[in-house]
Structure formats: C-alpha cells, structure tokens
Structure 1
Amino acid sequence: MAAKWIETLTGSLEQKKQYKQDKARIDALPEPYTIAAKAMHRYFMYYGGITDGGTLLTMFGDLADLWERAAIDGTPVRAIVGDDPVEFAETFVQAYSGKQWIDKEREQLLKAIDAAAADDTPKED
C-alpha cells in the first residue's frame, strides 16, 4: 500500500528504474558515443517537453539502442546525426507522440482567445 501512495506522489517506480537503466547504458558507452548520446539526452530534456513517462522511456531506450548499435558497428557520429545535429535530434523527438507540456498551454491559449472573441462582439448604439 505504501508503494501505491509513493507512486501517486512521485510517479511509477518501475519507470524510474527503467530510466536509470537506460541512463546507465548511455553512461557505459565508449567515447565518442557517450558524449553524443549524453548531449542528445540533455537536449531532449529541454526540447522534447514530453510529459508522458511511457513515451519518454521508449524514446530514451531507443536513444541508448541507437548509440549502442553505432558503437558496436563503429559507425562515425556524423554518419548518425549528419551535418545538423539539432535537426536530427528534433526529428528524433518528433517520432515519439505523447502528451507534451506545451499541449496544456496551447489549450489555455485557445480558451483565452475564444473567451476574448466572445466578448469582442460589436456593440450597437
């Protein structure tokens, strides 16, 4: 019962465990792959804005898979990310649908504009 109460406050303990495992996989990569994977992971945390834990876990697991495979094959970092690492990272994130923090703000904006437009009807004299 205590675990359910804690998970209500902090989120899924199983998801946290999986996240730590994927992070450890990235940390264990040889250079230069660990540098690239950590940089992408950091960028995803700022750019992605995904709030769904399951989607984040899938994305970070796939990120670890990508760089592990590149390290095993000896694929150069630039062969993975190309000339524009930002474009690669943003395209990577866009492949994962999930609820993002900006969704709530978009909804708030739409409601505010609808309310303003409803009050903005021309008044007859």
Structure 2
Amino acid sequence: MKEQRWFAASAVLNDQMCVAGGWNDGNTLSSVELFNPVVNTWTNIAPMKTKRCGHALVSYNGRLYTFGGWDYSSNRLNSMESFDPREGKWKSLKPMNEERYGFCGVVYNDEIYAIGLLFILYINYR
C-alpha cells in the first residue's frame, strides 16, 4: 500500500481490493486505496468524508459502504457513507442508531449488517 495503516477496513469492489481509513502514527485516516491484482498496483480514490479506524467496510451493488469506527478525537462513530465509483465521491447516509467500533460489516440476502460484540444491527440500503 502507499500508506501504512492499522485498524483499517477492507472489501472487494469490482475485482479490486479496497482498504479504507485506519490509523497511522497517531493520525486517523480518511484515505482509501484500491489494489488492482492484474497490474499489481495501488491507487488512491477519493477519501472518505470522515476519518475512521476500527470501522466496517462492505461492497454492495457496485458501491462501498463504510460505517462506525472512531475518529481522530477517539470519539465512537455512528455515521455512514457510501462511495459510488461512477461518481468518484463519497456521500453521507443516515447514521446508525448506535455508535460502534471494532465490529464487522457483512452483506447477507441483499441486506447490510453491522455485527458487534453483543448484538446485530440491521441496515436496509436496498
């Protein structure tokens, strides 16, 4: 990758590996990188609107969705955003009901789920 990062999130978008956010040398990141295995290169795409680490990232219907985590001030987040590669930018979405970090996101039966330590939050973005 172009930038070292810890506590980042990853997903596959259009046959490329995407790594978003994370933490590096005391800074929370908003940067996003795509790895193209065909040409073995990393490229940057538009940064997320919010700096995040310990968040979730999923690919669904040709878009990326990121949610939760914590920001540069160590505040837990409930915010969500989506990246449309056709537009090349991130869009803010309705926030989750709960702040969470250190969890995972999955897509199952055309629905996005945020799965934490003690409970599951259903997110409907069809």
Q: Does the pair score TM above 0.5?
A: no
TM-score, normalized by length of structure 1? 0.25
Higher helix residue share: 1
More strand, by proportion: 2
Q: Which protein has the larger Cα radius of gyration, Structure 1 or Structure 2?
A: 1
